[in-house]
Amino acid sequence: MRIIKSAAIVALMCGCAIATMDVRPASALTLMDFIRGGKKRTSPEHAQPARPLPGVGMIVPQQIDPRMAAKPPRVTGPRYYTYKAEPLRRIATDRLLDPVVTGSVQNGALPPMLRPPLSDARQFLPEINVRATDAVAKAVENYYGGRTDFVWIDSTGVNTRAKSALAVLAQAAKVGLDPQDYAVDVPSDTFDRGDMIAREKELVQFELAMSVATLTYVQDTVRGRIDPNKISGYHDFKRKSVDLFAFLDKLAGSDDAAALIESQNPKSPQFLALKAELERLRALTDATPRVEIAPGTLLKPGQSNPELANVIAGIKLKASESLKAEHAVVLASYQGTPDYTPELVSVVEAFQKERGLKADGVVGQASIRVLTGGETTDSKINKIEIAMEQARWLPDGLGSRYVFINQPAFTASYTDQGTEQFSMRVVVGSKTNQTYFFQDEIQTVEVNPYWGVPQSIIVNEMLPKLRSDPGYLDRMGYQVEVGGRVVPSSAVNWYGSTTSVAVRQPPSSDNALGELKILFPNAHAIYMHDTPSKSFFKRDQRALSHGCVRLADPRRMAAAVLGKSIDDVGKEIASGRNKALQVPQKVPVYVSYFTAWPNKTGTVEYFNDVYDRDMYVNRALDATRNARRAEG
């Protein structure tokens, strides 16, 4: 029987990278064998290079005194940044002097109260201080630099268009935004008619501030308040562009400014579900009730334990309405007895399944954590607000057909014709090898794949062993290339740079990628794939890989994106040949990170922040608020 060193296997068996070499396969040997020492394998006949290659045969590693050798290098992943919010700058009112004021006076476009002598206009306009981000400031300057009328004021002061727009801005919290970011000082209807210059200055200040607030709201609700790429190297998004000048021009001619502004908010079913959940949570006035279950409780079917009463109380509190309705008779008849009967086991299993736990009826640490949950109303609201911000980074409407991976939920789902067809468990990157947050398109399914070992695994995990035993990969049956040429592992200078060294594992039942991988080419070498380590899917916490996404049912996902049957995919695998199957029509894939997200019924579910990314989003939002509140 094999003795498996689990920690090392978890570290190595979960790696991923896209292999591009095309050489004759050698007999396969697993990374488990790599850890244990493996069996001696015959090196490929074609492994001897025809001429010297860089890094090959330059030194004999065994002749180097290990005490004198440099410590093996490390390949590090992306990092998190200290978020730097976009600063505000003052609107260049000197550019607006002639068109807005002089031109308006000359053309009679200004309201009667705004017709001071030209010298007075030149006197007060440079004093007006309205600040905005550069994009908003440019849009305002360009708009008013070519206009002779106003959007938000008329002869009576603040017009009805402004009042309706202000009502929308004041309700920004309903769509997960901060109303303070769009607050504007509104001129009073009463004023000193003896000081018309001051009144004119007040109204022009409001006009510009109102345009800034409205355009800031529109830009925020379309693309989000923060730039995700400035949070960390794990975020990879092309930020949406918003034509602010065109929108302001459209507002000027609109009879319903409120409807026009609100139309810019996301309309996807997922966003609307988050919005409804946010409204529900904010309506709660009492502290969220909680249950306590004694630490260390372990309850198995058929046992008797007084903590069972608290377990059932927790289910009544935290289960969905549909689950409670389905098991209403059992829940209603339970009298607090300690006997864990089969009927109660069924209720617990249903709850575990609903929460993404192993549905075995055993109440242990994972189930207790969910039942006693640290989720307060405030923490849920915060997760919802973060989810609404992040949803704005994605398209407004994910499409009628797509794959959605949610890392905190450890799930991947397939949607077709706007309806989720199935969902499955996945394994994602560990906290030290995090999966990225980005979107792409699935293009290929590769059956019987080679596994190209990532440089991070070669350097961080293989190199120390190879320096003491350079022929190790030869015995394992791995294929090694230097500069594109196949060479024996024993011929490589493992004390030199490994930049031009490539290692891959041939197809086999023990291949780290299993039977297939699903590719959406990206700069991060992340894809979905099979795995021989099926036991990982039984775990509740499945952040275990080097960054790729491992599927519990890869054949089903492959069949879905290929538009084939599962049997057809099985036949391709049974051929034993390494083969790339092109997807007939590219399928969008969202490799996402949401700690709050609606399920297929629209019910919002909450998940643990496995990478602590919500903390970094909160910091970015705080930095943005501070920048917008800063005095100019």
By DSSP bridging, strand 402-406 and strand 579-592 are parallel
Q: Summarize pLDDT for 212-232 with one digit per residue, the tens.
A: 999 999 999 999 999 999 999
Long-range contacts, stretch 577-582, CB < 8 angstroms, 24+ apart: 577/447, 577/448, 578/25, 578/446, 578/447, 578/448, 578/449, 578/450, 578/507, 579/446, 579/447, 579/448, 580/444, 580/445, 580/446, 581/444, 581/445, 581/446, 581/447, 582/443, 582/444
The pLDDT value given to residue 282:
93
Q: Could you tell me which residues come within 8 angstroms of residue 412 by beta carbon, excluding any fewer than 6 positions away? A: 403, 404, 405, 406, 423, 424, 426, 528, 549, 551, 557
275 versus 98: which is more confidently predicted?
A: 275
Q: Are 58 and 493 in contact (CB under 8 A)?
A: yes
Please check whether the two domains, 303-372 and 398-450+507-593, share a CATH topology: no
DSSP string, 569-613: HHHHHHT---EEEEEEEEEEEEEE--SEEE-TTS-EEE---TT-H
Coil/strand/helix, residue 418: coil
The pLDDT value given to residue 122:
57
pLDDT band at 209 (very low <50, low <70, confident <90, very high): very high
- Of 135-139, 359-363, 478-482, give the lowest mean pLDDT range: 478-482
- Of 92-101, 387-396, 502-511, 514-523, give the lowest mean pLDDT range: 92-101
Q: Are 403 and 479 in contact (CB under 8 A)?
A: no
pLDDT band at 295 (very low <50, low <70, confident <90, very high): confident
pLDDT band at 419 (very low <50, low <70, confident <90, very high): very high
Q: Is the pLDDT of residue 622 over 90?
A: yes
Write out the two tokens for 410.
């450890």
**Distance from the Cα of residue 626 to its chain's centroid:** 24
DSSP string, 140-183: HHHHHTT-SS-SSEETTEE-HHHHHHHHHHHTGGGGT--GGGG-
Q: pLDDT > 90: what percent of the chain?
A: 61
Quote the crossing angle between the two packed helices 269-282 and 377-391, to the nearest 10°: 150
Domain spans of the chain? 88-99+114-283, 303-372, 398-450+507-593, 454-506
From its phi and psi, is residue 489 left (phi > 0), alpha (psi between -120 and 50) or beta?
A: alpha
pLDDT band at 80 (very low <50, low <70, confident <90, very high): very high
β-pair partners for 48: none
The Cα-based distances of 261 to 149, 213, 222 in angstroms read: 20, 11, 11
Q: Summarize pLDDT for 319-353 with one digit per residue, the tens.
A: 999 999 999 999 999 999 999 999 999 999 999 99
Q: pLDDT > 70: what percent of the chain?
A: 83
519 versus 533: which is more confidently predicted?
A: 519
Q: Which whole number is the average pLDDT over 474-499?
A: 87
* Angle ∠(65,66,69) on CA atoms, nearest 5: 90
- Of 36-50, 57-71, 122-136, 196-210, give the lowest mean pLDDT range: 36-50
The pLDDT value given to residue 411:
97
The pLDDT value given to residue 288:
61
Q: Summarize pLDDT for 365-376 with one digit per residue, the tens.
A: 889 988 987 678
Q: How far apart are CA 354 and CA 601, in angstroms?
A: 12
Coil/strand/helix, residue 106: helix
List the CATH code of the domain at 303-372. 1.10.101
Q: Which of 154, 153, 155, 156 is nearest to 184 (CA)?
A: 153
- Of 204-218, 297-311, 353-367, give the lowest mean pLDDT range: 353-367
pLDDT band at 359 (very low <50, low <70, confident <90, very high): very high
Task: State the Rg of the chain over Cα.
Answer: 31
- Of 123-137, 205-219, 416-430, give the lowest mean pLDDT range: 123-137
The pLDDT value given to residue 106:
39
Q: Is the pLDDT of residue 12 over 90?
A: no
The pLDDT value given to residue 559:
98
Q: How far apart are CA 265 and CA 307, in angstroms?
A: 47
Token pair 């053309």 in the structure block, residue: 107
Q: Which class is 398-450+507-593 in CATH?
A: mainly beta
β-pair partners for 596: 606
Q: How far apart are CA 619 and CA 298, in angstroms?
A: 38
Q: Which whole number is the average pLDDT over 59-81?
A: 61
The structure's pTM equals 0.76
Q: Is the pLDDT of residue 441 over 90?
A: yes
Q: Which whole number is the average pLDDT over 440-460?
A: 90
**In 10 A of CB 477, how many CB atoms?**
23
Coil/strand/helix, residue 482: strand
Q: How far apart are CA 571 and CA 259, in angstroms?
A: 55
124 versus 205: which is more confidently predicted?
A: 205
Q: Which whole number is the average pLDDT over 409-415?
A: 97
What residues are annotated to the active site? 529, 548
The pLDDT value given to residue 18:
38
Q: How far apart are CA 355 and CA 348, in angstroms?
A: 11
Q: How far apart are CA 527 and CA 550, in angstroms?
A: 8
Q: Is the pLDDT of residue 249 over 50?
A: yes
The mean predicted confidence, pLDDT, of the chain is 85
130 versus 112: which is more confidently predicted?
A: 130
Q: Which whole number is the average pLDDT over 114-143?
A: 77
Q: Summarize pLDDT for 91-106 with one digit per residue, the tens.
A: 998 767 554 444 443 3
